[in-house]
Amino acid sequence: MTFWLNVVLATPAHSALAGPLTYKSDTEIAPGTLLRVPLGKREVLAVAWENLPDSGGLPEDKARQISAVLEGLSPLNTSWRKLTSFTAAYYQRSPGEVALAALPPQLRELSTLQLARRLKRKTADTSSTDSSADLPELSPQQASVLADFQADTRPALLFGATGSGKTEVYLRAAARVLALDPDAQVLVMVPEINLTPQLQSRFEARFAHLGRERVVALHSGLTPAQRLKNWLAAHSGQARLILGTRMAVLASMPRLRLIVVDEEHDPSYKQQEGARYSARDLAIYRARLEAEYAGSDQTACRVLLGSATPSLESWQACKVGRYQRLDMAERIGSTATAAPSDQTKANAGLPTVRGVDMNHQPKRCVIAPPLLEAIVQRIARGEQSLIFLNRRGYAPVLACHDCGWKSECPHCSAYRVFHKIDRSLRCHHCGFAERVPHACPACGNLDIAPVGRGTERLEEHLAELLAGVTRPDGGPVRIARIDADTTRLKGALEAQLAGVHAGQVDVLVGTQMIAKGHDFRHITLVAAINPDSSLFSSDFRASERLFSLLMQAAGRAGRDAKHSAASQMWVQTFYPTHPLFGALKNHDYPAFAEQLLEERQAASMPPFAYSALLRADAKTQEIAQGFLTAAIKAAIDQQLPGHAQVTAYPAVPLTIQRVANQERAQMLLESDSRVALQRFLAAWQPLLFETRRQAEFKSLTRWAIDVDPIAI
C-alpha cells in the first residue's frame, strides 16, 4: 500500500520549491516525524508535515519515495508545527526554511545509523532531590510581584529598575513551575549569551540539583555537537530548564510551561537574516499555543517579560490591558526613607545622573575636567569607573587633511575603521581589511591622522590623563577595555569580567557589551562619552534605543548597597536640554515612554500602526529601486487584497546603501490594520516572483520582506 504525505525541507522562500513537497511511503508516517528524502541528486533532512488522502494528481511513477525515517526521535508535536507555520506565514518565508532552521545543523549531516548511535549514549543521572540550598530572602516587592504573577494568566511585563532583583523573580517563578509538574520545562531567553554570563551561571547554580543534563543552553556559540546534544535533551523532555538566545524560541520543548524573556526590549531578539522574526513576539504566541494544546489552565504556559526600559510595544500592551504589569521600583538594599514621595521612592538606590554641557568645556575636550576629577576620586577610594562609548576601534576614520582623502571602503559606502593595535583599516560591514598606509594613497602626504574616537583610542587617552594618578596601594591605575575586538578569542570575555569582579581594574572602557546585563559590585561611576549621535537619527526608534542603553549603563553603578548613595551617571552632551536627558536624570521611564507614545500615535507609527520593508540588493541602485517600484505598481494595478489600507512609500537607498559591492534599496509599507497588511503581503508574493523574472531585473541579487522592522 502506498501512503502519501507532504514534507517541508530547507528551501528558500524565493525559490520555485518554497512550499511543501509530496512524497510517497510504504508505511504510514506520523506528522512531525524527521525524515531523509531525495531532492535532486542529494538526500536532505525533512519534516513530515501532513498525511494526504492521495497523490493530489501527481503521477505515481514520477513521485519520489522517502529514503529513511530518523527512528528513535519522537515526532515534533502539533503546537511546534503550528508555531513554525505561523512564523513562516507572518514573516513571509517558506515553512521548510523556518522549520529546518529551528533544528540543530548536525541533524542534517547524520545518517540514520549515526543518529541511532548518538541516541544510545547514556548520560549519568546527576539529579538530586536536594534543592535546599540557602535561598536569599525575598524583598516585599519581589514577594508581591510573584504572588500577582501567579494570580493572573496574561503575559506579564516585569518593569523593574536595574538592580531591583528581577533575576530572583525569574528563578523563583521557574522553580515553582518545575516543582508543580515533574515533566514541566522552562525556557529562559536572553538577548545575547555573551552579554549575560552571570544570568546563565546563576540559573545553572540554582538548578544544579536537577542534574547537569537537565539544565542546557541553546545558542550559536555552542559547537555543532553540543547544540545537537542540548536540542535532543530539550526535545525528549530530559532538559527541564533551557537557557538560550532568540533561536531557542523555536526549539522543540514538548512540556513548555514558562517562558522568561529577560531584557525584552533588546533589539537582538529580532532576527536580521533569513526569516526576520521577533523572538519576543513569538514567545507570546507560543505560550498561547502551548496553553491551547495543554488542555487546562493549571498547566497553561505563561510568559514573563522583564526590563527596566520596556519596549513601547509591551508598554502599550500593558496600558490597554493585554499584558499584566508588575512593578519593582526599588533596588535591593536601597535605603528609601519612610513615606517617601512616589518619585523619590522610584529613584531609591539608583545613581545620580549628572549632565556635562560640552559647550562649556575646553575645545576638543574628550573627558571633561569635572568628570576626570570624579574618576580620580573613585580611584583614590579604591572604587571602579565605567566609561561607555558605543564605537569600537581606534578611530572611525583615517584622513588626509591636505587632499581630503578618507579611509573609505572600496566595497561599501562606509569608512574603514582605524584599529591601532594591529595597524589595520577594517570595514565593520563587509570585513575588508588592509594595513594602514605609510602615506596618503591619493597625494603621498605622510601626515595622515585619525578622526574621531573609538574605545581603543579612548583607552589610550585615559592612560595619558591618569598617568600621574596612583591607587590606594601606590600602584599605577589599571585600565581595561572590553569590546568585540578584545573578546574574539574563546573565554576572553569571561576572563576579563573575572578581573573586573576581582578588583583588578580601576577604569573599564567598553561598548554596549558592558552596559547591560552585568552585576558589577564595585563600580560607582558610569560615564557616557558621546551619546548625541542618536538624538537626531532618521530612524524613529533611535531615541528609544538610546534611552534604554543609557538607563542600562547607569544601572551598572551602585549595585552594592554600600555604594548606592554615592553612585553617579555622567552624561557628556552638547544638547543638555534635550527631553531625553531630563527623563534620564529622573530615571523616569514612564514619562519618557508616554511622550514617545504620544508622538508615535500622532504620526501613526508602531505600536499604533504596522509596517513592513521590502528590501532589494543589486549591482546598481537603479535596478534595486526599479524592482521595488515595478513590484508595487503591479500590486496596485491588480488591486491586491488589503491594498486600500496599505500605504507604500517611494523606494529609497538604505542609509548605508552599498555593502560588499551590492547596492541596497528599500520600500516602506504601513497600515493601521495588521490583518490588511498581512493579506496584502501574502497576495504580493507571487507578483514579486513574477517581477523578479522580468528581463530588466535578471541581475537583481536578492529581495526580502522584513515584517515589523526594528530599524528603518
pLDDT digits (tens, 9 = 90+) for 132-144: 567 889 999 999 9
Share of the chain above pLDDT 90, in %: 69
User: Can you say which residues are annotated as belonging to the binding site for Zn(2+)?
Assistant: 400, 403, 409, 412, 427, 430, 440, 443
**Cis omega (within 30 of 0) for bond into 53:** no
The interaxial angle of helices 279-294 and 78-90, nearest 10 deg, is: 150
pLDDT at 267: 93
Range list of β-strands (E), 271-323: 302-307
pLDDT at 342: 42
Longest CA span, the chain = 87
DSSP annotation string for 623-649: HHHHHHHHHHHHHHHTT-TTGGGEEEP
pLDDT at 101: 92
Q: How confident is the model at residue 709 (pLDDT cuts 50, 70, 90)?
A: very high
Contact 257, 227 (CB under 8 A): no
Mean pLDDT across 237-250: 95
What gap in Å lies between CA 458 and CA 363, rounded to an integer? Answer: 17
Mean pLDDT across 177-196: 88
What gap in Å lies between CA 494 and CA 6, rounded to an integer? Answer: 46
Question: Which three cell numbers, joined as nine digits, stand for 7?
Answer: 514534507
Say whether pLDDT at 544 is over 80: yes
pLDDT at 346: 42
User: Can you say which residues are annotated as belonging to the binding site?
Assistant: 400, 403, 409, 412, 427, 430, 440, 443
What is the CA angle 34-35-38, rounded to 5? 150
Q: Which of 591, 605, 578 is nearest to 670 (CA)?
A: 605
Q: Residue 51 pairs with which residues in a beta bridge?
A: 5
Mean pLDDT across 464-470: 93
pLDDT at 273: 87
- The predicted-structure confidence for 146-157, as pLDDT tens digits, reads as follows 999 999 999 999
pLDDT at 696: 93
> Which is more confident, 454 or 124?
454
> Which is more confident, 548 or 14?
548
> Which is more confident, 373 or 204?
373
Q: What is the mean pLDDT of the chain?
A: 89
Domains of the chain: 3-120 (3.40.1440.60), 140-328 (3.40.50.300), 342-392+455-601 (3.40.50.300), 395-452 (no CATH), 610-707 (3.30.70.100)
What gap in Å lies between CA 283 and CA 550, rounded to an integer? Answer: 26
- The predicted-structure confidence for 495-523, as pLDDT tens digits, reads as follows 898 899 899 999 999 998 888 777 788 89
Mean pLDDT across 223-245: 93
Q: Tell how far CA 30 is from the center of its chain.
A: 35
Sign of the alpha-carbon dihedral angle for 642, 646, 652, 656: negative
Mean pLDDT across 378-383: 93
Q: How many CB atoms lie within 10 A of CB 564?
A: 21
Q: Which of 554, 551, 508, 546 is nearest to 530 (CA)?
A: 546
pLDDT at 168: 94
Amino acid identity, position 548 = S
What gap in Å lies between CA 520 and CA 497, rounded to an integer? Answer: 9
